[in-house]
Amino acid sequence: MIEPPSYSTFILSLMSKIDLVTESFISNGYHALARYLELPVALACTLLIVLLGYGMLTGIIEMSIKTFNETLFSIGAVYTFAFGWANFNDYFIALFFKGADELSSVLINGNLFEIPLLTKTGAGLKAALQTVLIEAVKVGGWAMAKGGLTDLIPFIIGLSFIIGGSIVVSLACIEIIVVKLYLAMLLAVGPFFISCYLFPQAKAQFAGWLTQLKGFALALILLGVASSLCMYLMHWVVGGYFIDRAVGITLYSIVPLIIASLLCILLLTGIIPIAKQIGGAQGSSGWGAVGGAIAGLGAGMISTPMKGIKSMQAISHLSKSITPMSQQTFSNIRSQLQRGR
């Protein structure tokens, strides 16, 4: 029977599970795709070498021996790098995943971001996220316990602490998990995009894949730094009430919580676009996309009535020009009838 997850260990379990899933997905997915593409790419490389050599011998292709040797070296290096994943697996995972975790752990365990962790297992950013969630939920529960049917203010205070802490921790976890999953997918399809480097027509795809890889790797590092700072701010606001079991908590205690939560949300939502721009990828924030959609909808709603107004104006001008002509025509018909009588 599967036990339901508890809030006191949920973040640690979720982040650990995601790490296992991404590492296994990268290794297994890369191996599966490499086995599938190994023979076709090997045949293409062999055919390319044979055609280049034949073209040089017959004079169809003008290429020096030095350039030909450099081409052979590039083909061998790319093929080895694309399909020899067993030799590079640990280095890639350590570079993109463990490096970001270690950097955030250094910040969490430093003097500036020192947080008394409440978890018995885990350390670094995972434990800090779990600690802040425990503090927010505990403080909210203690505050709500002071209320009753005739006093709803403690319920509002406690609910604010639970919601505020949960939103900040959830946002940090979701962004880190999403970036890790994107990195896992990009690394898993590495054999295909690395093989694209061999062919001039497909080098643009390899460059795009490498740019996205750099952007998400940098985003993972910056998210670790930003999440460390956010957890320090949230612990600074909530941790004091956790120590005294929410004895001195009041309605005005919500104000620092709201300010700190908004700061953390703005900081976390701006990391991915900044990282992708630094890495060379085309990134845009969700706020910009929503704003663009609303602006486009508004422009469409405005332009449609304006087009209708212009059409009505054109019809009005046309009717004004037609009216004198119709009156003249009816006058001529009437005069002809009178003459006939």
267, pLDDT greater than 90: yes
| Cβ contacts of 142 within 8 Å, gap of 6 or more | 158, 241, 245, 246, 249
Which of 153, 155, 143, 145 minimizes the C-alpha distance to 251?
153
Residue 245: phi and psi, rounded to 5, are 60, 40
Residue in the block written with tokens 């430093």: 110
Which residues face 156 on adjacent strands? none
Q: Does residue 65 or residue 117 have the better pLDDT?
A: 65
Is 34 within 8 Å of 191 (Cβ atoms)?
Answer: yes
Which span out of 24-38, 57-71, 231-245, 301-315 was modeled with the highest average pLDDT? 231-245
pLDDT band at 120 (very low <50, low <70, confident <90, very high): low
pTM: 0.73
pLDDT tens by residue, 187-242 = 888 888 888 888 778 888 989 988 888 888 888 888 988 988 898 899 889 988 88
- Does the structure show a pLDDT above 50 at 152? yes
Residues counted in the chain: 341
pLDDT digits (tens, 9 = 90+) for 227-245: 888 988 998 899 888 888 8
